[in-house]
Chains A and B, each alone.
Chain A
Amino acid sequence: DGGITQSPKYLFRKEGQNVTLSCEQNLNHDAMYWYRQDPGQGLRLIYYSQIVNDFQKGDIAEGYSVSREKKESFPLTVTSAQKNPTAFYLCATQPPPGLNRYTQYFGPGTRLTVL
């Protein structure tokens, strides 16, 4: 199966714990993105990476960290510094230059709940 996978689908965290959300793709896309979705807020960009071993902060990076050691993987860690982490998290990829260069494709998402 080709595409973008996110795991787990549901994740529960106790206050004070760090958790890592997985995003894997086999589309051979260079760019990968993490978004947070809250009710009535649309999607907000957390971090993005255009190439391996390089990433940039988005609009709401505080309390989050990422790594990009492989082209296929872009895990997101939600740290204890994130004060309100309960949300739906979406990972997206973007193709290299070509027909669909400026289009993002999304994974199925992870619902994170803080207990």
Chain B
Amino acid sequence: AQTVTQSQPEMSVQEAETVTLSCTYDTSESNYYLFWYKQPPSRQMILVIRQEAYKQQNATENRFSVNFQKAAKSFSLKISDSQLGDTAMYFCAFMGPVMNRDDKIIFGKGTRLHILP
């Protein structure tokens, strides 16, 4: 069974700093998707970034980028120039196998990130 592990329950960084959130996963599949979702205090889940396993290039979205290491089954999120609005719970998530009609996402337990002024 696939699992997703986020080893950092909570982190704090100063505004404008760069922060990296860790995520590892376990799967025997070769074709899958990985996600980072953000849940601010409003509790609305927001997709931050998505990575297809068959793509070697790391995904980026403005200040957010990932370091996808397929062999190591690692999928970390880097937030550059962090802002107060980045304060949230961040969830790493896995979906696979993508050709299976039974599309389900497995979520990690989350990392609570505090951006300090």
- A residues contacting B by CB (< 8 A) are 31, 33, 40-45, 48, 50, 56, 58, 88, 90, 92, 94, 102-106, 108-109
Chain B contacts of A50 at CB under 8 A? 101, 103
Distance to closest chain B CB from A104 (angstroms):
6
CB within 8 A of B108: which of A42, A56, A92?
A42
Residue of A nearest to B105 (CB): A104
A-B pairs under 8 A by CB, number: 46
Q: Is B104 within 8 A of A41, CB to CB?
A: no
Residue from A42, A43, A48, A105 in contact with B47 in the complex, judged by beta carbons closer than 8 Å = A105
Residues 78-117 of B at the A interface (beta carbon under 8 Å): 91, 95, 98, 101-105, 107-110
Q: Is the CB of B109 within 8 A of A106?
A: no
- Knowing A50-B101, A102-B103, say if A42 contacts B109 (CB, 8 Å): yes
B interface vs A, CB < 8 Å? 9, 33, 35, 37, 42-47, 50, 91, 95, 98, 101-105, 107-110
**Is the Cβ of B43 less than 8 Å from the Cβ of A88?**
yes
Identify B91's interface contact among A31, A42, A108, CB under 8 A: A42
**Quick check: B45 and A106 within 8 Å, CB to CB?**
yes
Are B107 and A42 in contact, with the CB atoms below 8 A? yes
Tell me the nearest residue of chain A to B109, going by C-beta. Answer: A42
Among A48, A102, A108, the one with the most B-chain Cβ atoms within 10 Å of its Cβ is A102
